[in-house]
Structure 1
Amino acid sequence: MDDAVLRLSPPITFEGLSPVTSVFYDDVCRQVFAVRSGGAMGIVVKGPEEHFNHTFRMPDQGPILAIKFSLDQTVLAVQHVPDTVVNKERGSVKLMKSHSFPVNWFLYNGKTTTLLTCTGAGGNTLQPFLIRSGSLFKLAKFELDFPPSGKPGALNERDFILAEVYNQNYILVVKHQPRGNSSLGGEIVVFNVNKDSSPTKCHILKVERGGKLAVNIVDNLVVVHHQTTKKSQVFDVGLPGETDGYVVYHDAVLWTDTCLKDGEQMESESNGIYGQNGLIFQPDVIIDAKLGKLWLLEFDVEPVYGLIKSPTNLVNFLLSRKNAKGVVLDAVRRLLQGDCSLLEIGKVFDFVVAIYQAHHHAATLPQVFGKPRELGPSVAAPWRVVIIQKDMCLSVFTPLIRTLSGVQSDKYHRGQSRLSSILVEYARSLHNYHMPVDFFVLELLATTLIRDKAFQLLHQLLQYGTIRDSKQMACLLLSLSNDYPPAEQIALDMLKRLNTANEQILEILLNKGQIFTALRFLRKLGLLQPSNAALDIRKYLDAALASNNKMVFFPVFKFFEQRNLKMYGSPQFKPPEQYEVYVKKYKEMFLEAQDSEVVVINS
């Protein structure tokens, strides 16, 4: 099943339920306990973290109600009857704070340290708590305006999930039954939880089918499993949806199967994630206690391209997935190679650059009292994929250029024009987010615009500062002056604005092999006049020789012979001994071309 984005990890096996074996699961430390004969015949503890695996025995003191390790794995708590034990040092528990009220049931999330209790005579009042730094914060209680099961009466703890999505605490309420007379599906109602305000309804996830539903949280995605169809829906509350100003309504991003990591189906329909024996634990654990297997649910980003039709939703979705950088770059490249409109491409670039800018600024902000500044908006959150300009050039734009080099001429011109527009969009996005455009992006942009003969657009980008002045850009423009002669003057003007010394400009031109341009620049500055006897013409002859091009060396040599004629009344170089190597080389190259027409270097 190549298009299955949900996969189960290789199973962690343990001894399954039997008359002598009891199975317990601790959702805080993510450990499964297989207890044989009350512990007398051994207890095997396993979990995703192998260093948390243990094997030991203990006396059989009667039926075990619960068994857990402390977070540091140094204290084992076993409950035989409803009472409490243990402090690591003193062997006792210290009461920190208490609230007295009747409790029908409770849920606790060890990762977010959120406690939800159900209270009230009718069993329909919810009282949440947050535990922070050893303190217990009692939040405002609230009642649901709907019964999750579709039937009036007390609330059922199986309909509630405490979850963390994008670093935000939520209470998820599962409504298994259809949303109304005109709908066949259930829904997941999401409440925002924080200690500064009462829980508020913020999202509603529209499930396409009613019936028995189960929920996992994987890679900041809400995954809703539907037992009847044996399929799962994937929701992303980070994506935009319809809203009434208070609540955002989300359709599923994906509707998919779940398979084992090697692509095989589950061993039996009665087992696993959709089976009668499958138990779902938060955030991403599935246990079949009878079969004796524990799986972790994983999200595979590779098959996503093509499953989400909207380019903006696709890239926005992928940018929030872990380890998805290569997939994001591949998706962007494929979108640019396809028929995606420039408007959509611009939006895609804005998503990418917004995250890049946020992380760049967060990394460069000064520290406050020795501590890093907060990242700020969710766009800078650590789960976001950061695509820098170098990534775009190496993995997106350069492959596009390679693709163009192998197409027919008519398609090449259309492709070159589209590439120009794409690069301009990327530069625009960087400019709008106040990010300096790296030179290798500008190099691609300027080169592509000149090849596409989009000279007016190039002028505009230079004029409005999208392509900023730099020595590197000036040299690039000089190197492109054969294709676009005005680029030479643009480059020289740029170098003057940079207050670059004339000698530096000449060195840059010579290093870039722009010898004729350097000589024209000398003439404009009046430095070729016979009165300027200090001019060292050997470096220009050296540069001409270094080009290994007779058609460069010949006109440069004859150019300086003409200058000698004006200065000394003779074409010979003075003092002769300093120019013997050039004269000798000239004779070797052009012994039979003494009467050749002299190439004149015009200003």
Structure 2
Amino acid sequence: MSDEHYLELCDNPVQFENASSVNNVFFDEANKQVFAVRSGGATGVVVKGPDDKNSVAFRYLEPEENLEFIGLKSCLCFVFRSLQTKNASVLGFCWTNWNEIVFITDQGIEFYQVFPDKRSVKLLKSQSINVNWYQYCPETAVILLSTTVQGNVLQPFAFRSGTMSKMSKFEIELPVVPKPAKLSLSERDIAMATIYGQLYVMYLKHHSRTANSPSAEVVLYHLPREGACKKSHVLKLNTTGKFALNIVDNLVVVHHQSSQTSLIFDIRLREPDCAVNTHQPVLPARSIHPYRIPLSGPTVVPSQPAVPCQLYSSSWSVFQPDIIISASEGYLWYLQVKLPPTVNLLQDKGKLMDFLLRRRDCKMVILSVCSQSTTACLLPVVATVFDKLNQVYKEYLEAEQTYTLAMESGPSRGSAAQKRPVRTQAVIDQSDMYTHVLSAFTERKGVSHKFIIAVLMEYIRSLNQFQITVQHYLYELVIKTLVQHNLFYMLHQFLQYHVLSDSKPLVRATPQPRLSTANDEIVEVLLSKQQVLGALRFIRSVGGHDNVSARKFLDAAQQTGDQMLFYTVFRFFQQRNQRLRGNPAFNPGEHCEEHVVHFKQLFGEQALMKPATV
């Protein structure tokens, strides 16, 4: 079961003083920092974040005005004497830039520019609107306001470079419309996050117990910068209870407190048995991998074991995109996805490849799936795996080619600068496959050599299908495997019918006319690989051993430096001469004089075959 935990907490969490009667803990979502406030700040405030080498500490001074802001980097205080909207209750504020701040009140939204050196502010823009609550997404600088009595009409605002833009409002579909109308959409059931580069509003929809569909679901609304917000995905949770949401590596992670398990969804995967954009969990529900907290303090013995962390604790707070905080234990973790356990949990190899190819650290896991598939799957499944790999590979090659052409032609007038395509770990090229999968596969014991050849040819077929030039070392691997298993006829067929493309790179030949026959080509390939006996066996298998050049084979044998190999080849042609002409000696036209001299030097003249006597 331990191998099935596909979620884990990071190894290097941010540690802070845990919450207590004298210490309050707050989290700044924009800067991902934890504030530990002791005694209301009178005895100190400690700020810690994932990128902070050292924590920041300061003391809180009693403000003389109604609002005070403390800039930790500049150590300056800014005072807002009053807001534009009178008699308004401040719901909160968000820093959209280092010198820009937005106030949200129950009567609207106000956008200010801050001048630290002048200790003053300037109102940039404001909007009057009744507000129930708000959400802020720091990554996209979008604020979402809940409006109307029921709270389900959401009004987003986008902030960029001193501007505030009102986006299209949209309505969340409530499971039940209350009568009389009352606030029905809670801030706890809404979250904003970026998934695959697009901003989504996530709504945790709880159905009433009397409904026909009692299970909860997560509804995703796509929120573009321009245009209307639309309902785009529905994630089926198939259970009820308390949930929390994270986004990890473009996966929607749904934590279920009562079962202490989590589900993951990939909105790019299509379910064959579901309606369009309706998703089931990618994998079975599993708990986060157990985490142990090391003991600390002066009384701790070095050998004392760490204490298990209580997962899915009621004291946990979940923040976007991937943060989990335990205030009671004083830890901030980043949630992570472990890919290796998914290999055995997702049996559909095609779906598994679709899932893995979209993950960050996927390369070695994908290669392990390829290795596993070549021995445990049928050939059509192997073909599907190869096709999915090479589709991504081809897309990268095309993007790289487009970039290269754009750089060679120079920037065109009015066009945006071309960005070099990023090579992600999902790009598995021929070198990766040869090194980590195919080369070892051909040496594997207990696998049918016919299946080995079929897998190699299937990979080449897939490359050709996507119009990717096949590298010569793949052809060499096929030829080597065929020769090892004495499949000379199959090798002959492959070359004769151009299943293996022009083999000039294989023989590493200098520019010269293409060899006249497929048999000659095979011999050249084998000799170039110093497989002299294999070449002899092949030429005998096709009945051409009486006509081949002895010098070519003797040259190749001598170049190997293997004396016994040279002896065997030399004796083979002596026997051929004896059989064809009644004399083992070479004719002058065969130009083998230097090989005869070499043979005598190695084995002595007495080792030469004597003419047979009648």
Q: Deviation of residue 99 (structure 1)?
A: 3.1
> Is the CA contact 1:148–1:176 (under 8 Å) kept in the aligned structure 2?
no
Q: Deviation of residue 596 (structure 1)?
A: 3.0
| Residues 245 and 275 (structure 1), Cα distance of their counterparts in 2 relative to 1, 3 Å cut | closer
Q: Deviation of residue 244 (structure 1)?
A: 7.7
Q: Deviation of residue 159 (structure 1)?
A: 0.8
Q: Paired residue for 2:457?
A: 424
In structure 2, C-alpha distance between the alignment counterparts of 1:253 and 1:432, rounded to whole Å: 31
In structure 1, C-alpha distance between the alignment counterparts of 2:60 and 2:503, rounded to whole Å: 75
Q: Deviation of residue 381 (structure 1)?
A: 7.4
- Among 569, 583, 594, which residue is 2:597 paired with? 583
> Is the CA contact 1:223–1:235 (under 8 Å) kept in the aligned structure 2?
yes
Q: Deviation of residue 55 (structure 1)?
A: 2.0
| Residues 538 and 427 (structure 1), Cα distance of their counterparts in 2 relative to 1, 3 Å cut | closer
In structure 1, give the amino acid aligned to 2:471.
D
Q: Deviation of residue 590 (structure 1)?
A: 4.5
Written as runs of structure 1 = structure 2, the 5 A alignment for 1:415-494 is: 415-449=448-482, 462=495, 467-474=500-507, 489-490=517-518, 492=520
| Residues 76 and 248 (structure 1), Cα distance of their counterparts in 2 relative to 1, 3 Å cut | farther
* Secondary structure of the structure 2 residue equivalent to 1:279: strand
**Stretch moving more, 587-596 or 447-456:** 447-456
| Residues 298 and 87 (structure 1), Cα distance of their counterparts in 2 relative to 1, 3 Å cut | farther
> Is the CA contact 2:79–2:119 (under 8 Å) kept in the aligned structure 1?
no
Q: Paired residue for 2:10?
A: 9
- Among 558, 564, 568, which residue is 1:551 paired with? 568
In structure 2, C-alpha distance between the alignment counterparts of 1:65 and 1:9, rounded to whole Å: 37
In structure 1, C-alpha distance between the alignment counterparts of 2:254 and 2:561, rounded to whole Å: 69
Q: Does 1:139 align with 2:167?
A: yes
**Stretch moving more, 213-222 or 323-332:** 323-332
Q: Deviations over 1:565-603 (max 9, x none)?
A: x79xxx996xxxxx6x953752652522455359xxxxx
Q: Does 1:291 align with 2:329?
A: yes
Written as runs of structure 1 = structure 2, the 5 A alignment for 1:83-482 is: 86-147=114-175, 153-154=182-183, 155-177=185-207, 181-242=211-272, 247-261=277-291, 274-338=312-376, 340-365=377-402, 366=404, 367=406, 373=418, 385-404=426-445, 407=446, 412=447, 415-449=448-482, 462=495, 467-474=500-507
> Is the CA contact 2:193–2:247 (under 8 Å) kept in the aligned structure 1?
yes
In structure 1, C-alpha distance between the alignment counterparts of 2:136 and 2:397, rounded to whole Å: 37
* Secondary structure of the structure 2 residue equivalent to 1:50: coil
Q: Deviation of residue 539 (structure 1)?
A: 9.7
Q: Deviation of residue 302 (structure 1)?
A: 2.5
| Residues 91 and 423 (structure 1), Cα distance of their counterparts in 2 relative to 1, 3 Å cut | farther
| Residues 6 and 511 (structure 1), Cα distance of their counterparts in 2 relative to 1, 3 Å cut | closer
> Is the CA contact 1:544–1:556 (under 8 Å) kept in the aligned structure 2?
no
Q: Deviation of residue 297 (structure 1)?
A: 1.5
> Is the CA contact 1:160–1:173 (under 8 Å) kept in the aligned structure 2?
yes
Unaligned 5+ residue runs, structure 1? 477-486, 496-504, 529-535, 574-578, 599-603
In structure 2, give the amino acid aligned to 1:398.
S
* Secondary structure of the structure 2 residue equivalent to 1:428: helix
In structure 2, give the amino acid aligned to 1:437.
V
> Is the CA contact 2:263–2:281 (under 8 Å) kept in the aligned structure 1?
no
Q: Deviation of residue 62 (structure 1)?
A: 8.3
> Is the CA contact 2:33–2:49 (under 8 Å) kept in the aligned structure 1?
yes
> Is the CA contact 1:273–1:286 (under 8 Å) kept in the aligned structure 2?
no
Q: Deviation of residue 136 (structure 1)?
A: 3.4
In structure 2, C-alpha distance between the alignment counterparts of 1:224 and 1:205, rounded to whole Å: 10
Q: Deviation of residue 417 (structure 1)?
A: 1.8
Q: Deviation of residue 513 (structure 1)?
A: 7.0
* Secondary structure of the structure 2 residue equivalent to 1:354: helix
TM-score between the two structures when normalised by the length of structure 1? 0.76
| Residues 79 and 212 (structure 1), Cα distance of their counterparts in 2 relative to 1, 3 Å cut | farther
In structure 1, C-alpha distance between the alignment counterparts of 2:176 and 2:159, rounded to whole Å: 27
* Secondary structure of the structure 1 residue equivalent to 2:289: strand
* Secondary structure of the structure 1 residue equivalent to 2:34: strand
TM-score between the two structures when normalised by the length of structure 2? 0.75
Q: Paired residue for 2:43?
A: 41
Q: Deviation of residue 189 (structure 1)?
A: 0.5
Q: Deviation of residue 433 (structure 1)?
A: 1.1
Q: Deviation of residue 158 (structure 1)?
A: 1.2
| Residues 79 and 153 (structure 1), Cα distance of their counterparts in 2 relative to 1, 3 Å cut | farther
> Is the CA contact 2:325–2:331 (under 8 Å) kept in the aligned structure 1?
yes
| Residues 68 and 175 (structure 1), Cα distance of their counterparts in 2 relative to 1, 3 Å cut | farther
| Residues 172 and 466 (structure 1), Cα distance of their counterparts in 2 relative to 1, 3 Å cut | farther
Q: Deviation of residue 527 (structure 1)?
A: 13
> Is the CA contact 1:243–1:249 (under 8 Å) kept in the aligned structure 2?
no
| Residues 295 and 114 (structure 1), Cα distance of their counterparts in 2 relative to 1, 3 Å cut | same
* Secondary structure of the structure 1 residue equivalent to 2:115: coil
Q: Deviations over 1:300-327 (max 9, x none)?
A: 2222221112111222212222222112
The number of residue pairs the alignment matches comes to 542
In structure 1, C-alpha distance between the alignment counterparts of 2:250 and 2:200, rounded to whole Å: 12
Identity within the alignment, %: 30
Q: Paired residue for 1:563?
A: 587
> Is the CA contact 2:293–2:306 (under 8 Å) kept in the aligned structure 1?
no
In structure 2, give the amino acid aligned to 1:6.
L
Unaligned 5+ residue runs, structure 2? 83-89, 91-102, 104-111, 295-304, 510-514, 578-583
In structure 2, give the amino acid aligned to 1:16.
N
Q: Deviation of residue 186 (structure 1)?
A: 0.5
Q: Deviations over 1:61-86 (max 9, x none)?
A: 3899997868xx55677899957784
Q: Deviation of residue 393 (structure 1)?
A: 1.6
Q: Deviation of residue 7 (structure 1)?
A: 1.4
Q: Deviation of residue 290 (structure 1)?
A: 3.3
Q: Deviations over 1:120-160 (max 9, x none)?
A: 24422111233345443322211122248999743211111
In structure 2, C-alpha distance between the alignment counterparts of 1:397 and 1:584, rounded to whole Å: 40
In structure 2, C-alpha distance between the alignment counterparts of 1:142 and 1:195, rounded to whole Å: 13
In structure 2, C-alpha distance between the alignment counterparts of 1:252 and 1:149, rounded to whole Å: 32
| Residues 235 and 588 (structure 1), Cα distance of their counterparts in 2 relative to 1, 3 Å cut | closer
* Secondary structure of the structure 2 residue equivalent to 1:137: strand
Give the RMSD, CA atoms, in angstroms: 4.5
In structure 2, C-alpha distance between the alignment counterparts of 1:381 and 1:538, rounded to whole Å: 49
Q: Deviation of residue 266 (structure 1)?
A: 11
In structure 2, give the amino acid aligned to 1:423.
L
Q: Deviation of residue 402 (structure 1)?
A: 2.9
Q: Does 1:29 align with 2:59?
A: no
In structure 2, give the amino acid aligned to 1:359.
Y
